[in-house]
Amino acid sequence: MDITQESGKETRPQWDNKIQYLLTCIGFAVGVGNLWRFPYLCQIYGGGAFLIPYLIALVFEGLPLLYLELAIGQRMRLGSTGVWYSISPLLGGVGIASMIVSFLVSLFYNTLLAWILWYFFHSFQDPLPWSTCPLNQNRTGFNEECEKSTSVNYFWYRETLNITTNIETSGTIQWTVVLCLASAWCIVYICFIKGIQSMGKAVYVTATFPYLVLTIFLIRALTLPGAVDGIKYLFTPEWEILMNPQVWLDAATQIFFSLSVAFGGLIAFSSYTEEKNNCERDALLVGIINSATSLYGSIPIFSILGFKATSAYNLCKDRNILALTNHFDFPDQNITRDNYDYWIDHFNQTHPDSISGLNLRPCDLQAFLKQSASGTGLAFIVFTEAVIEMPGSQIWAVLFFIMLFSLGLSSMFGNIQGVLTPISDLKMLPKWIPDELVTGLLCIVSFLVALIFALGSGNYWLEVFNAYVGSVPLLIIAFFELVGVIYVRGMKRFSDDILFMTGKRPNIFWKACWMVISPLMLLAVLIAYVVLQAAKRPTYPSWDPSYESFPDTKTLEYPDWVFAIIILLCVVPIVSIPIVALHRLIRGGIRRSSPRSELSAYSNGGFDADHPESYNQKPV
Amino acid sequence: MLEKLLILLFASNVLAQVCMPDAPEAYKVRLSIKTALGDQAYTWNDNELYLFRATLAFAMRNYLSGQLFDVSNILVCNETERVSFWFMVKSVTNPTTLIEKQHVENAIKESRHRINSAFLLTDQTLEFLGILPTLASPFVPATPPWLIAFGVVMGVVGAGIVYFLVAAVVQRKRKKTLDEEEEAKGATENEIAGENLDGIYNTSFSDDEKVTEM
């Protein structure tokens, strides 16, 4: 560990080298969302055309925010709580909000990793367990629930989750999920056991391995039949879609959440780097690599989806061909996939009644391509189904789930760091407790709280957390971050900071973005988001085998008490901002004589050698 | 009166001997040779049909042990280009009656694999309509394989955690003893330094504090 002693401050851990720091930031930004959310958005918003709002959002919203966080963390050399406190004690709540959000997100994010581990463990079997249905009780046929839906759906909903019919029925704790959850938290712990020293080593693997696997998948996927159809479908631009404001909103939110700003993790990471580091270049690198990864990853994903659509299409055709051949007693293989259309037309003219009696399912490739899924649906249902058809399924399944796991693990690093750094900066725990114990305690507490996701209704709760914790609070935090740095600290002072760190002032583009464009965009996104969410009562899809049109999911409304919890999840992180501000105001009003009594040990404003004028600065 | 009865009996006997589709004792068979074998497909002809009747007789012999079924006991009719046809099985003991469906079904189920193999076909490409293939029960290994994978991963992780924790504790103990040693040394060095009047290199400030304020 490289210990540097700076101007009277305590030893702060440091990265071994620049590559570790960059890889950690990239790993934090590039997560499972890049693989399973971005291609989905591309698909539903007409492929190539979606890239335009996406790139605009990246340039005007994502990169400026990223640059700001990396710069402020590197300059202040503190975690998120310390940074905002130093800028203004009234803003101290922003750091606490970041910490709470990081904690809540790490809870459900690690549950995703637990499920990925479960699938990974099950990929070592031949045949893959999700490829066949289990037999029913008396061995005469397959399990009913599995027959009606597919074996892949059954494996996900029944054997993995054992999901209940709605969010109110909690069901029992699934011990298998608990085991996987424990493994996931143990793996996170072992990577964090020595703080960033061990995490920095782990990140060499977790940040680079996904790219290797993506390349392997790319080569394999492009050789599959139907891959080209998938890619064509993905990238065919539908320019009319740009008129829809929802597209712009989704592009902006996707960029924002994809870069993992406002979690506090990026500030923590950059606080461990050296003072004179070109953070502008780092921000550009991280932002561009993040978007490039999304694009690069969507190609194999969609090749495989195209392959799956083609397989389903061929299966549909074969089923119809068999029905026709059997009904009309044609010789075997007279009707093939190629002349199927000719024969269908022929029969429709000559024997329309018998054709309709056969109940032939219409086979349309475009309809199969349109079947899109995002999130867990993409990884655990669509992709696993595609993998069954590929020769050598076990290898592809193993590779895929390892890749997802490392993507998620490197993002977990940022989340956990966003909780650990404030804990150590705020000195919430006594000094004699070693860091390993703090990390261990955090992992154990998180594991115990995350047991709610191991219940039968766990997946419903995860969707609640995913939709509400990681959305509105982050937008609000980011807005306060921008305002705090640019207006409270001051653009001039921030420019001086950047001059000190990188050797040149930020150019007009950055200034324009920070002062005007990004806050406006953030505000617009926040308002649009809240309005759209509040417009309708939130609903969720539930898996109910007794539903009439099962296997379609039944749409249920959230009950009132869950709605109250949703409001709590949105409000609790944010509420720390006004509470801390009020607290400081009251405190500052009562004790005007000693305004510096609350300053942290790291930044005693009176002895800031780089900014001698701060000696006279008043904290308010 | 008697002649009428005799004629009726004779007629029903003859009828009973004739294979009819949808008869209560008849089964429909469907073969999809091209689907199963592709280029290696053989053409269906009378010889193949003879083989089929022979294998069915074999299946009946196995099921009803003692009764020696022959090719002539298997009646076939309504052959189509699809390669599908109906068949019925005549009893050995009483040539005028037909074997009931249930017995035929059981016989075929028992020897299904042999019948399939004779024609290089599978349960899906050699269909007996009405006789569902018995589903092969999935192979369930003694230990679920996923537990093995889980055990391996957790074992490695657990060992790693224990190793790092122990190393951290050991390192801390070593650092503590080193600190204590340095303190003790430092006290004596000071006394020596006081006596030596070492003005050039003050050993008390031996930790590299290179940054000085102002």
pLDDT in tens, B194-205: 455 555 655 565
The torsion region of residue A490 among left (phi > 0), alpha (psi -120 to 50) and beta comes to left
CA distance A502 to A506: 9
CA distance B214 to B205: 18
Name residue, tokens 């020897």: B111
Min CA distance, A314 vs chain B (Å)?
14
Min CA distance, B41 vs chain A (Å)?
11
pLDDT digits (tens, 9 = 90+) for B160-173: 989 988 988 898 88
Q: Which residues of A are annotated as a binding site?
A: 27, 29-30, 34, 258, 290, 407, 411
CA distance A454 to B106: 47
CB distance from A134 to chain B under 8 Å? Answer: yes
Give the length of chain A: 620
Residue A296, pLDDT score: 93
Distances, alpha carbon A441 to alpha carbons A263, A429, A438, A587, B157, in Å = 21, 11, 5, 32, 17
Summarize the confidence of residues B72-83 as an average pLDDT. 85
Residue A396, pLDDT score: 92
Residue A617, pLDDT score: 46
CB distance from B137 to chain A under 8 Å? Answer: yes
Q: Which residues of A touch B79 (CB under 8 A)?
A: none
- What amino acid is encoded at A58 in this protein? L
Domain ranges of chain A: 18-591
The torsion region of residue A250 among left (phi > 0), alpha (psi -120 to 50) and beta comes to alpha
pLDDT digits (tens, 9 = 90+) for A80-128: 888 888 888 888 889 899 999 999 999 999 999 999 999 999 999 888 8
> Phi, psi (5° rounding) for residue B116?
-55, -45
Q: State pTM to two decimals.
A: 0.81
CA distance A462 to A454: 10
B34·A434 Cβ contact <8 A: no
Q: What is the count of residue pairs from A and B with beta carbons less than 8 Å apart? A: 90
pLDDT digits (tens, 9 = 90+) for A260-271: 888 999 999 999
- Helix (H), strand (E), coil (C) string for A236-250: CCCHHHHHCHHHHHH
**Residue B80 three-state SS:** coil
pLDDT digits (tens, 9 = 90+) for A300-346: 988 888 888 888 888 888 888 888 888 888 888 788 888 888 888 88
Which residues neighbour A248 within 8 Å (Cβ) at sequence distance 6 or greater? A53, A57
* CATH classification for the domain delimited by A18-591, as one of 1.20.1740.10, 3.30.70.260, 3.40.50.300, 1.20.1630.10: 1.20.1740.10
Parallel, antiparallel, or unpaired for β B84-89 and A554-557?
unpaired
Q: Which residues pair with B74 in a beta bridge?
A: B89
> Phi, psi (5° rounding) for residue B77?
-150, 175
Q: What is the mean pLDDT of each run of 10 residues along chain A (620 residues)?
A: 42 86 92 88 82 92 93 89 87 90 93 94 88 79 81 90 88 91 93 84 90 92 88 84 85 88 90 90 94 92 88 87 83 82 83 78 83 77 86 91 93 91 82 86 94 92 87 88 90 91 91 92 88 83 83 84 90 89 82 49 52 46
Q: Which residue of A has its CA nearest to B210?
A: A5
Min CA distance, B212 vs chain A (Å)?
7
Mean confidence (pLDDT) of chain A:
85
CA distance A568 to B199: 67
B211·A189 Cβ contact <8 A: no
Burial class (CB in 10 A: 0-12, 13-18, 19+), B123: middle
**Residue B89 three-state SS:** strand
> Phi, psi (5° rounding) for residue A330?
-75, 155
Q: Which residues of A touch B80 (CB under 8 A)?
A: 329
CA distance B111 to B119: 13
User: Which residue of B150, B165, B211 is in closest CB contact with A121?
Assistant: B150
Summarize the confidence of residues B77-88 as an average pLDDT. 85
Residue A1, pLDDT score: 40
B99 pLDDT more than 60: yes
Please tell me the least confidently modeled range out of A219-223, A333-337, B47-51, B146-150. Answer: A333-337
B135·A187 Cβ contact <8 A: no
Q: Contacts for B78-83 with beta carbons within 8 Å, 24 or more apart?
A: B78/B19, B78/B21, B79/B49, B80/A329, B81/A329, B81/A330, B81/A331, B82/A325, B82/A326, B82/A329, B82/A330, B82/A331, B82/A332, B82/B30, B83/A331, B83/A332, B83/B30, B83/B31, B83/B32, B83/B33, B83/B44
CB distance from B5 to chain A under 8 Å? Answer: no
Q: Which residues pair with B98 in a beta bridge?
A: B90
Choosing among A190, A274, A330, A394, which should be mutated to test the B contact, i.e. which has the most B CBs within 10 A?
A190
Residue A593, pLDDT score: 46
Pinpoint the alpha helices (H) of A223-278.
227-235, 245-258, 265-271
Distances, alpha carbon A574 to alpha carbons A149, B70, B183, in Å = 42, 87, 49
CA distance B111 to A227: 43
A139·B168 Cβ contact <8 A: no
| Residue B148 banded pLDDT, cuts 50, 70, 90 | confident
Residue A597, pLDDT score: 46
Choosing among A6, A194, A205, A332, which should be mutated to test the B contact, i.e. which has the most B CBs within 10 A?
A332
Residue B193, pLDDT score: 47
B 61-90: CB under 8 A from A: 80-84
CB distance from A500 to chain B under 8 Å? Answer: no
Residue B27 is classified by DSSP as E
CB distance from A179 to chain B under 8 Å? Answer: yes
**Residue A87 three-state SS:** helix
Closest CA to B59 of B124, B111, B102: B111
CA distance A35 to A305: 13
A6·B82 Cβ contact <8 A: no
CB distance from B126 to chain A under 8 Å? Answer: no
For B140, the enclosing helix (H) or strand (E) is none
Distances, alpha carbon A447 to alpha carbons A376, A413, A442, A465, B158, in Å = 21, 15, 8, 16, 16
Task: Count CA atoms closer than 13 A to A379's CA, side-chain side.
Answer: 25
Residue B202, pLDDT score: 58
Which residues neighbour B64 within 8 Å (Cβ) at sequence distance 6 or greater? B103, B107
Distance from chain centroid for Cα B71? 36
Distances, alpha carbon B51 to alpha carbons A54, A304, B18, B29, B38, in Å = 68, 45, 20, 14, 21
B100 pLDDT more than 80: yes
For B54, the enclosing helix (H) or strand (E) is helix B46-63
CB distance from B152 to chain A under 8 Å? Answer: no
Min CA distance, A546 vs chain B (Å)?
26
Q: Which residues pair with A554 in a beta bridge?
A: A542
Q: Which residues of B touch A115 (CB under 8 A)?
A: none
Structure tokens that stand for A107 in this block: 């809870």
Choosing among B139, B146, B163, which should be mutated to test the A contact, i.e. which has the most A CBs within 10 A?
B146
A 463-482: CB under 8 A from B: none
Q: Which residues of A are annotated as a binding site for Na(+)?
A: 27, 29-30, 34, 258, 290, 407, 411
Distances, alpha carbon B183 to alpha carbons A451, B175, B179, B189, in Å = 49, 12, 6, 10
Q: Which residues of B touch A142 (CB under 8 A)?
A: 135
Distances, alpha carbon A364 to alpha carbons A344, A378, A383, B205, in Å = 14, 21, 20, 82
What ipTM was predicted for this assembly? 0.73
- What amino acid is encoded at A135 in this protein? L
Choosing among B150, B162, B171, which should be mutated to test the A contact, i.e. which has the most A CBs within 10 A?
B150
Q: Which residues of A touch B129 (CB under 8 A)?
A: none
CB A270 within 8 A of CB A69: yes
Distance from chain centroid for Cα A519? 23
Structure tokens that stand for A285 in this block: 């690198």
